[in-house]
């Protein structure tokens, strides 16, 4: 009888130990540390320690039996549980406040019995085939995924648990790609003698003093070395600059293209022309020649790949190429093409302008000056005309200004509401959750606006404080100047009075008094030449006489 009572009491104790739920916060549960030093201990007894440390109930499947040999010191209870179970080829699941320990075979068997469900995911922005690579890795061994390209949809068949995870990841990956507008200004500058070593931009822009790019060749005066150089311009307005360039006879505006591209995708601008030439080749039989007209492209090619960073800076990979006809070769006048290339990577703020210079070439022109009629006389006309060959240096400047399209970075609240509504219909999310999300988004926007206004207010206060400090410093400088002026005035008056007194002593032959007065004057003003003349010349001469 006693033995039966003891058995019942022990069973009740184990039941309370394993099953009684404790209301302990999850963070505190995960933070609990355990120290274990177990040798050939039953798994059930080892898990009692985990139950006490985690304040969670523990349930063992009937086929779970094992011995534990482990030594751990001050580790989180979940880490200890993982190691205990993995060494015995076991696993566990947590449902609410219960840890269920089972064999791997049991897990597989249960998963095999769970009915599969089919869901269709239709991304709003991403391509379905691009999402497939990431989402397919989450499928179970029984799951499958197909892409329907015409509808841009993913057809997924798997357990409800897996589908929920796949849908959640799909939402996170299906985001709108930011867009960038690339504005370019391409001008050809005819260099005068004063421009042989560069063009002075100090009148039209401010150099960026903090973020210099590689191989920047800026001189201290703000001159851009046109043999090869590139720099960043701030406070640069392309529209205003177009008007200025239009008034300059040495500047020719070649193009002002604008192109829009998506983040991390290359934008390509080509301003070229085809130069024809005659090409002669042998026929297939080799008995005759075939003449055809072929073309070579010359002009300007620009490739820009932007990437928008989290702080809205724009990282850009820029490649530029200028090609032109250098000469015509042979009887077919095939054009010989020269080219100038520049390539760089840089970081810009939204609206900053990057300029590439140094794509220089020489143009040769021949001008004939002649006396009318006489210059056209055969043989004798050469004495009445003159040929002038002029070689002109021209430089190609490419100004590139990226603009982040803000509307492409953030969905408007209306778009988000529409998107959430469609996702509710697609994924079966409750409307209450949708409203809560929209409310949270609105609150976040209000907080961001409040933060922006606070920062703006602080900035204005700092500017006002700085202005007050500058005004106080200016007032202090003015006081100092007035004091110095007053001292100078007082000193001049003192010297004038002493000078008058010293001359009076000199005129009355009171030489000691006169010498003393003139010496005092020199102490106050060592540069007083007349006082020095009296001491060194006039007084000694008068004493002799």
Residues with Cβ within 8 Å of 489's Cβ and at least 6 positions away in sequence, in order, are: none
- Identify the pLDDT of residue 303: 92
Mean pLDDT check: name the lowest of 30-44, 168-182, 219-233, 489-503: 219-233
Which residues fall within 8 angstroms of residue 418, CB to CB, at 6 or more apart? none
Query: How far, rounded to the nearest angstrom, does the alpha carbon of residue 76 sit from its chain's CA centroid?
Result: 41
Cα–Cα distance for residue pair 482/486, rounded to 1 Å: 6
**Residues 6 or more apart in contact with residue 339 via CB below 8 angstroms:** 321, 322, 323, 324
Tokens of 276: 């024809």
Q: Which residues pair with 399 in a beta bridge?
A: 185, 355
Least confident of 234-248, 264-278, 339-353, 441-455: 234-248
pLDDT tens column, 129-139: 888 888 988 88
Q: Is 368 exposed, middle or buried (0-12, 13-18, 19+ CB in 10 A)?
A: exposed
327, containing H or E segment: strand 314-329
Structure token pair of residue 333: 């006048």
- Mean of the pLDDT values across residues 223-229? 35
Q: Are strands 144-148 and 153-158 parallel, antiparallel or unpaired?
A: antiparallel
Domain spanning 33-110, CATH architecture: 3-Layer(bab) Sandwich (3.55)
Greater model confidence, 239 or 482: 482
* Res 523 pLDDT > 50: yes
- CA–CA separation, 498 and 518 (whole Å): 7
The C-alpha atoms of residue 355 and residue 158 are separated, in whole angstroms, by 55
pLDDT 10s digits, 143-171: 899 999 888 999 999 888 889 889 988 88
pLDDT given at position 12: 40
pLDDT, tens digit, 9 for 90 and up, residues 265-310: 898 988 888 888 887 777 666 667 777 888 888 888 889 999 988 8
Mean pLDDT of 83-93: 87
Of 314-323, 389-398, 439-448, the range with the lowest mean pLDDT is 439-448
Q: Does the structure show a pLDDT above 80 at 422?
A: no
pLDDT at 369: 73
CATH topology of domain 115-173: Ribosomal Protein S8; Chain: A, domain 1 (3.30.1370)
Are residues 326 and 283 in contact, defined by beta-carbon separation less than 8 angstroms? no
Query: Looking at residue 305, what is its pLDDT?
Result: 93
The pLDDT value given to residue 245: 60
Handedness of CA 194, 199, 202, 204 (dihedral sign): positive
Mean pLDDT (the chain) is 75
The shares of helix, strand and coil residues in the chain, as percent rounded to the nearest 5, are 40, 35, 25
Name the DSSP class of 122.
-
Q: Where are the domains of the chain?
A: 33-110, 115-173, 183-205+223-280+289-409, 410-487, 492-544
Q: What is the pLDDT of residue 306?
A: 92
Print burial letters for 373-405: b (CB count within 10 Å at least 16), e (below 16).
eebeeeeeeeeeeeeeeeeebbbbbbbbbbbbe
pLDDT at 543 over 60: yes
> Are 275 and 295 in contact, with CB atoms under 8 Å apart?
yes
Name the DSSP class of 296: E
Predicted TM-score (pTM) of the model is 0.46
Q: What is the pLDDT of residues 342-368, one digit of tens each?
A: 888 888 888 888 888 777 777 666 777
Confidence of residue 524 (pLDDT cuts 50, 70, 90): confident
């Amino acid at each position: 009888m006693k033995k039966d009572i003891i058995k019942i009491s022990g069973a009740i104790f184990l039941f309370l130990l394993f099953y009684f739920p404790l209301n302990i916060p999850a963070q505190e549960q995960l933070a609990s540390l355990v120290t274990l030093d177990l040798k050939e201990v039953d798994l059930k007894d080892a898990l009692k320690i985990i139950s006490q440390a985690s304040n969670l109930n523990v349930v063992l499947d009937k086929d779970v039996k094992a011995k534990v040999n482990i030594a751990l010191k001050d580790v989180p209870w979940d880490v200890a549980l993982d190691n205990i179970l993995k060494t015995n080829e076991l696993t566990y699941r947590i449902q609410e406040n219960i840890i269920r320990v089972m064999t791997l075979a049991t897990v597989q068997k249960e998963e095999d019995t769970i009915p599969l469900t089919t869901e269709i995911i239709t991304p709003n922005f991403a391509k379905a085939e691009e999402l497939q690579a990431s989402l397919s890795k989450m499928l179970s061994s029984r799951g499958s995924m197909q892409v329907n390209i015409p509808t841009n949809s993913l057809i997924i068949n798997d357990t409800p648990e897996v589908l929920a995870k796949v849908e959640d990841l799909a939402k996170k990956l299906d985001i709108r790609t930011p867009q960038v507008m690339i504005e370019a200004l391409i001008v050809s500058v005819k260099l005068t003698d004063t421009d042989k070593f560069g063009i002075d931009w100090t009148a039209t822009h401010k150099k960026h003093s903090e973020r210099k790019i590689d191989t920047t060749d800026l001189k201290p005066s703000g001159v851009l070395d046109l043999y090869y150089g590139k720099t960043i311009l701030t406070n640069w307005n392309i529209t205003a600059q177009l008007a200025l360039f239009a008034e300059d006879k040495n500047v020719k505006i070649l193009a002002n293209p604008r192109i829009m591209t998506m983040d991390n995708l290359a934008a390509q601008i080509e301003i070229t022309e085809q130069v024809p030439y005659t090409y002669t080749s042998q026929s297939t039989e080799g008995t005759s020649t075939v003449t055809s007209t072929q073309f070579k492209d010359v002009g300007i090619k620009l490739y820009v790949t932007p990437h928008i960073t989290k702080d809205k800076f724009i990282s850009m990979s820029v490649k530029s190429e200028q090609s032109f006809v250098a000469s015509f070769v042979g009887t077919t006048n095939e054009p010989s093409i020269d080219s100038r290339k520049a390539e760089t990577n840089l970081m810009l703020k939204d609206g900053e302008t990057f300029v590439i210079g140094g794509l220089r070439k020489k143009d040769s022109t021949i001008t004939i000056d002649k006396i009318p009629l006489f210059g056209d006389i055969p043989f004798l006309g050469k004495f009445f005309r003159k040929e002038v060959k002029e070689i002109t240096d021209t430089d190609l400047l490419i100004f590139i200004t990226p603009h982040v399209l803000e509307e492409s970075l953030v969905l408007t609240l209306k778009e988000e509401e529409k998107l959430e509504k469609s996702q509710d219909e697609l994924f079966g999310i409750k409307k209450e959750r949708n409203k809560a999300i929209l409310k949270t988004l609105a609150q976040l926007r209000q907080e961001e606006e409040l933060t922006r206004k606070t920062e703006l207010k602080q900035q204005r206060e700092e500017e006002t404080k700085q202005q007050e400090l500058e005004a106080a410093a200016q007032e202090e400088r003015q006081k100092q100047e007035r004091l110095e002026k007053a001292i100078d005035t007082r000193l001049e008056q003192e010297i004038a009075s002493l000078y008058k007194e010293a001359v009076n002593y000199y005129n009355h032959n009171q030489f000691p008094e006169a010498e003393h007065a003139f010496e005092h004057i020199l102490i106050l003003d060592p540069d007083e030449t007349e006082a020095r003349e009296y001491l060194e010349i006039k007084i000694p001469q008068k004493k002799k006489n």
